[in-house]
């Protein structure tokens, strides 16, 4: 209605004859004020378009009140009360709205399906009203059938209409009022995979930050978007799912040439953005994009941006290829490859995301090949990774330079580690670190040092591992990368556990868990909870350790991370045994072995068999312990995992000792001691020596036992604190 039409309606309702209604708006408004001055009256002005439309309709009498609803934020002068923002009902209230229209009994009979329907309706009261009315009028239409009708996003809006109301028509009022550039940009952006929006997205389509800010202000003003975030630096927006679906459908109606032009512009913007953000990790990309073309993107939060934009970057790669922009698509893939630690890709996606067109530059081709090799590793195919890296470089232009060779060496090392060949893995990773240092490639030095530390730890050199990981952490802190810092604190804490410094490790992991929670990285949060559980166990805080394992499993279970579920299950064995529940510990070990056998993970089967052997020792069955412990010794020896091999040999030595096999016992004890004495393993050394002393005394070699005991006590202060320790009874790794 115009103001004039609305005034005419109000005056008629107040008893004014149509013939007596003035012609001019100002005169009609004056007549309204006169008639209502002494009344107690509520006037409801629904769906006001703007302040000019509303202002003439306002009475001035002290007993009068006006309730105005609008899609826009209105300013109509001296208003007694501030505007009220109308938010969506919560799930319980949304169910109540649906039940009001559909019938209480019907909704109560199948709450789970009804809740699904409210979610498909986005909890919008109009959508719930339409669906509820349809259900009331159609007793033959079940809730499950209505849920199925709403399942398809693109069909949902057509289902949310009936003869007298339609969600599409309602949204159309606001959509049609947008300026043409804002409407086109909004429709394109909402057709992308869903996620948080920022001014950058609109600037990328509208090609001007100022125009983008104006467009976003316009969309917020008409309630098609909602502001989400704190200050200017974190300015973002949310779009309701049903509005997103509606706008995406409008986008499909644009002429094909207009769509191609807008999409090409956005593909180029995504290419510039991700290349710019990857430059600190791959310095050769720094000259690829001018700073002016990436205004508004902060490199310090690059990992978070890429993680949040992952699905849209995948869209840009696919759409770029469809538009004949193969070069841009390949360069997006190249830049994305430097964030593989920060994202999770679906199985089999690597060949598509990181394929190189025939005309791609050699540097791009090498980077994409390395990305495919890295993803092959993540999918458990180390031989494929090695094959990919060995297949390149046959032509002159394909031969990698020193930096590329060192980066490839990192992946080769990781492949050997995945094949449980830790000797070659350590050799290749050491070479990678040296090459990357020489090239000044600090980001890859950081990552190679992290992996080098793990390999040094496995090879029995935890003191070297700590040095490598602390250097990596310093580099991450210098880079200002919160995610890398959190990941490296976790790795360092694990090494501190090996060094028997759990009191230093615990606060590192507690901080790390907080950071991953803030970063919304559930996988790394779960991995950090698992690590903290092990540290709490070393501190004797067994109930807290079990709680950490429970929380980790609650993360990994729904994610389908079977390997991590197996590791968490394995970690419970020693805690349960330490609490005296050997039956539960044995059942847990059997569950862990079953998981690892299904996954084909021989190393973790061996780790768990070592714990099974120890459980037999603790139950007084040394003969039954020999089989699983021998299996653990053989597997870890083949792999070159010196630390795990020493642990298994120590326990097998205890079994031989208790069975009266002195030669075999001393051979195993000596092998374990050789590893522990070659690295900073004072605690482990002290524990083994106690078992050697006990063996010597059982053999009647008391003088040798006393000499060994005296010498070790003088050289290793931890030895005295373990007085009376027996490896057949004590919980491994705990005082």
Tell me, what's the pLDDT at 732?
64
Contact 722, 686 (CB under 8 A): yes
Tell me, what's the pLDDT at 566?
96
Q: Average pLDDT in the 361-365 region?
A: 92
Q: Average pLDDT in the 338-344 region?
A: 90
Q: Average pLDDT in the 56-67 region?
A: 91
Instruction: Reply yes or no on whether the pLDDT at 416 is more than 90.
Output: yes
Average pLDDT value over all residues in the chain: 91
- What is the 8-class DSSP label of residue 198? E
Higher pLDDT among residues 82 and 489, named by residue: 489
Euclidean distance between CA atoms 355 and 65, whole angstroms:
66
Q: Average pLDDT in the 84-94 region?
A: 89
Q: Average pLDDT in the 221-228 region?
A: 88
Q: Average pLDDT in the 47-58 region?
A: 88
- Per-residue pLDDT of 455-497, as tens digits, reads 998 887 889 999 999 999 999 999 888 889 999 999 999 999 9
Instruction: Reply yes or no on whether the pLDDT at 77 is more than 70.
Output: no
How many C-beta neighbours within 10 Å does residue 428 have?
25
Q: What is the band of 516 on the pLDDT scale with cuts at 50, 70, 90?
A: very high
Euclidean distance between CA atoms 343 and 483, whole angstroms:
11
Tell me, what's the pLDDT at 42?
95
Tell me, what's the pLDDT at 79?
64
Instruction: Reply yes or no on whether the pLDDT at 226 is more than 50.
Output: yes
Euclidean distance between CA atoms 70 and 48, whole angstroms:
5
Q: What is the band of 71 on the pLDDT scale with cuts at 50, 70, 90?
A: confident
Tell me, what's the pLDDT at 394?
46
- Per-residue pLDDT of 698-716, as tens digits, reads 999 999 999 999 999 999 8
Tell me, what's the pLDDT at 705?
92
- Per-residue pLDDT of 114-158, as tens digits, reads 999 999 999 999 999 999 999 999 999 999 999 999 998 878 888
- Per-residue pLDDT of 26-50, as tens digits, reads 999 999 999 999 999 999 999 888 8
Instruction: Reply yes or no on whether the pLDDT at 232 is more than 70.
Output: no
- What is the 8-class DSSP label of residue 227? E
Contacts of residues 65-68 at CB distance under 8 Å and 24 or more positions apart, as own/partner, are 65/41, 66/42, 67/42, 67/43
3-state helix, strand, coil in the chain (%, to 5): 70, 5, 25
Euclidean distance between CA atoms 367 and 365, whole angstroms:
6
Euclidean distance between CA atoms 568 and 557, whole angstroms:
11
Residue 42, SS3? Answer: strand
Tell me, what's the pLDDT at 325?
96
Report percent pLDDT > 90 for the chain.
Answer: 71
Q: What is the band of 500 on the pLDDT scale with cuts at 50, 70, 90?
A: confident
Instruction: Reply yes or no on whether the pLDDT at 54 is more than 80.
Output: yes
Euclidean distance between CA atoms 364 and 381, whole angstroms:
23
Q: What is the band of 441 on the pLDDT scale with cuts at 50, 70, 90?
A: very high
Tell me, what's the pLDDT at 521?
87
Tell me, what's the pLDDT at 233?
53
Tell me, what's the pLDDT at 735?
52
Euclidean distance between CA atoms 656 and 474, whole angstroms:
46
Contact 162, 129 (CB under 8 A): no
Euclidean distance between CA atoms 431 and 258, whole angstroms:
52
Tell me, what's the pLDDT at 165?
78
Question: What does the DSSP assignment read for 575-591?
Answer: HHHHTT-HHHHHHHHHH
Contact 278, 229 (CB under 8 A): no
Q: Average pLDDT in the 694-700 region?
A: 93
- Per-residue pLDDT of 148-171, as tens digits, reads 999 988 788 888 888 777 888 888
- Pick from 210, 220, 137: which is nearest to 178 by CA? 220
Q: Average pLDDT in the 414-423 region?
A: 89
Question: What does the DSSP assignment read for 440-458?
Answer: T-HHHHHHHHHHHHHHHHH
Q: What is the band of 659 on the pLDDT scale with cuts at 50, 70, 90?
A: very high
Tell me, what's the pLDDT at 392?
58
Tell me which residue has tokens 């630690």.
341
- Per-residue pLDDT of 600-645, as tens digits, reads 999 999 999 999 999 999 999 999 999 999 999 999 999 888 889 9
Tell me, what's the pLDDT at 661?
95
Tell me, what's the pLDDT at 420?
80
Tell me which residue has tokens 């795990």.
644
> Residue 225 — left, alpha, or beta (φ > 0 → left; ψ -120 to 50 → alpha)?
beta
- Per-residue pLDDT of 250-300, as tens digits, reads 999 999 999 999 999 999 999 999 999 999 999 999 888 877 777 778 777
Q: What's the half-sphere exposure (Cβ side, CA atoms, 13 Å) at 570?
A: 24
Tell me, what's the pLDDT at 234?
58
End-to-end CA distance of the chain: give it in Å, rounded.
82
Residues 6 or more apart whose Cβ sits within 8 Å of residue 105: none
> What is the token pair recorded at 370?
């390395």
- Pick from 718, 656, 642: which is nearest to 691 by CA? 656
């Amino acid at each position: 209605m115009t103001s004039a039409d609305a005034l005419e309606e109000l005056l008629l309702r107040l008893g004014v004859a149509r013939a007596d209604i003035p012609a001019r708006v100002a005169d009609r408004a004056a007549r309204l004020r006169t008639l209502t001055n002494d009344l107690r009256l509520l006037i409801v002005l629904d769906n006001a378009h703007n302040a000019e439309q509303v202002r003439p309709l306002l009475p001035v009498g002290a007993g009068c009140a006006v309730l105005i609803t609008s899609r826009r934020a209105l300013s109509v002068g001296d208003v007694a009360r501030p505007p009220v923002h109308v938010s969506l009902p919560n799930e319980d209230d949304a169910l109540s709205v649906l039940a009001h229209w559909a019938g209480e009994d019907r909704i109560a009979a199948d709450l789970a399906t009804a809740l699904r329907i409210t979610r498909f309706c986005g909890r919008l009261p109009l959508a719930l009203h339409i669906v509820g009315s349809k259900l009331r009028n159609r007793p033959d239409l079940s809730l499950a059938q209505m849920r199925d009708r709403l399942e398809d996003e693109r069909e949902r809006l057509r289902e949310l209409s009936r003869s007298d109301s339609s969600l599409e028509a309602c949204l159309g009022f606001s959509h049609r009022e947008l300026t043409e550039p804002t409407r086109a940009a909004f429709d394109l952006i909402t057709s992308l995979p869903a996620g948080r929006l920022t001014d950058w997205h609109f600037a990328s389509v509208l090609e001007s930050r100022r125009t983008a800010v104006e467009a976003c202000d316009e969309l917020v003003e008409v309630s098609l978007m909602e502001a989400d975030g704190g200050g200017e630096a974190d300015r973002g927006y949310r779009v309701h799912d049903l509005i997103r679906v509606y706008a995406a459908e409008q986008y499909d109606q644009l002429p094909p040439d207009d769509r191609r032009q807008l999409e090409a512009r956005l593909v180029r913007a995504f290419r510039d953005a991700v290349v710019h953000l990857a430059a600190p990790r791959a310095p050769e990309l720094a000259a690829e994009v001018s700073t002016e073309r990436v205004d508004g993107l902060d490199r310090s939060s690059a990992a978070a941006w890429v993680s949040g934009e992952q699905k849209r970057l995948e869209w840009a790669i696919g759409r770029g290829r469809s538009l004949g922009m193969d070069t841009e698509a390949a360069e997006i893939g190249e830049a994305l490859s430097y964030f593989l630690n920060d994202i999770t890709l679906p199985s089999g996606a690597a060949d598509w995301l990181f394929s190189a067109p025939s005309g791609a530059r050699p540097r791009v081709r090498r980077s994409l090949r390395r990305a495919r090799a890295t993803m092959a590793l993540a999918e458990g195919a180390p031989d494929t990774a090695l094959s990919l890296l060995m297949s390149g470089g046959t032509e002159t232009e394909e031969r990698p330079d020193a930096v590329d060779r060192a980066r490839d060496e990192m992946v080769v090392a990781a492949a050997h580690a995945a094949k449980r060949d830790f000797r070659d893995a350590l050799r290749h990773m050491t070479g990678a670190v040296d090459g990357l240092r020489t090239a000044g490639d600090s980001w890859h030095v950081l990552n190679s040092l992290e992996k080098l530390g793990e390999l040094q730890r496995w090879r029995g050199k935890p003191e070297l591992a700590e040095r490598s990981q602390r250097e990596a952490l310093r580099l991450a802190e210098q880079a200002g990368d919160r995610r890398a810092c959190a990941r490296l604190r976790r790795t360092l804490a694990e090494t501190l556990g090996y060094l028997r410094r759990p009191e230093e490790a615990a606060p590192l992991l507690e901080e790390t868990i907080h950071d991953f929670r803030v970063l919304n990285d559930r996988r790394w949060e779960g991995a950090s909870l698992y690590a903290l559980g092990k540290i709490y166990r070393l501190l004797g805080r067994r109930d807290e350790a079990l709680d950490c394992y429970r929380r980790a499993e609650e993360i990994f279970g729904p994610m389908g991370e079977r390997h991590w579920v197996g590791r968490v299950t394995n970690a419970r064995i020693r805690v349960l045994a330490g609490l005296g529940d050997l039956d539960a510990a044995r059942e847990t070990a059997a569950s862990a072995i079953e998981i690892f056998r299904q996954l084909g993970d021989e190393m973790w089967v061996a780790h768990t068999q070592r714990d099974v052997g120890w459980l037999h020792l603790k139950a007084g069955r040394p003969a039954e312990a020999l089989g699983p412990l021998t299996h653990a010794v053989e597997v870890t020896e083949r792999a070159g995992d010196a630390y795990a091999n020493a642990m298994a040999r120590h326990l097998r030595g205890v079994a031989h000792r208790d069975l009266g096999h002195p030669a075999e016992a001393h051979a195993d004890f000596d092998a374990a001691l050789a590893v522990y004495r070659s690295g900073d393993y004072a605690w482990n050394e002290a524990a083994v020596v106690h078992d050697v002393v006990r063996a010597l005394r059982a053999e009647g070699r008391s003088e040798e036992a006393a000499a060994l005991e005296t010498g070790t006590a003088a050289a290793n202060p931890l030895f005295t604190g373990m007085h009376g320790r027996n490896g057949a009874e004590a919980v491994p790794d705990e005082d």
